[in-house]
Amino acid sequence: MRKVISQFGEGPLQQKLTTGDLHFLSDAEVSKGGSGTGPSPHEYLGAALAACTSMTLKMYAGRKGMELENAIVTVDIERANDIEMFARDIQLLGNLSSEEKDRLLEIANKCPIHKALAGQIQIKTQLVN
């Protein structure tokens, strides 16, 4: 996996992010002191779960010959009592049996980002200068 690098951007909180040759921004909403020029870090976290879920479903359905035309995944994150609450809604489009839909719901919980967020996480932080 490519490393993600963040550094100060324009405005009060904007961050310039790079991974490989890709460049993108993160920022806070205006109401939270940012300029609103990009998704917030929490929105990127939700995007990671949504994208990983949809990719996992597409790969699985393709391998199994399922007629999955699209998987629309919506993720909302709220924080309450120091607990991050992820709400993930999945809409499956295509000619799928109820058994196939049930299996795809099981597979959604096996996407790597879901497993990372639901499992134990360790963060090693060090100064490098």
Q: 104: domain CATH number?
A: 3.30.300.20
For 79, half-sphere exposure in the C-beta direction (CA atoms, 13 angstrom radius) is: 4
pLDDT of 98? 98
- Inside any domain, residue 128: no
Sheet containing 22-26: which strands, arranged edge to edge?
A: 5-8, 15-19, 22-26
pLDDT digits (tens, 9 = 90+) for 98-109: 999 999 999 999
pLDDT of 66? 98
CA 79 to centroid of chain Cα atoms: 16
- Asked whether residue 73 falls in the same domain as residue 97, the answer is yes
Mean pLDDT, the chain, rounded, equals 97
- Inside any domain, residue 76: yes
User: Residue 88 belongs to what domain range?
Assistant: 41-118
The token duo for 24 is 């993108």
- Asked whether residue 54 falls in the same domain as residue 100, the answer is yes
- Asked whether residue 8 falls in the same domain as residue 26, the answer is yes
pLDDT digits (tens, 9 = 90+) for 61-100: 999 999 999 999 999 999 999 999 999 999 999 999 999 9
Q: Give pTM, 2 decimals.
A: 0.93
Question: Would you place residue 41 in the very low, low, confident or very high pLDDT band (cuts 50, 70, 90)?
Answer: very high
| CA-based nearest residue to 94, from 71, 117, 120, 124 | 71
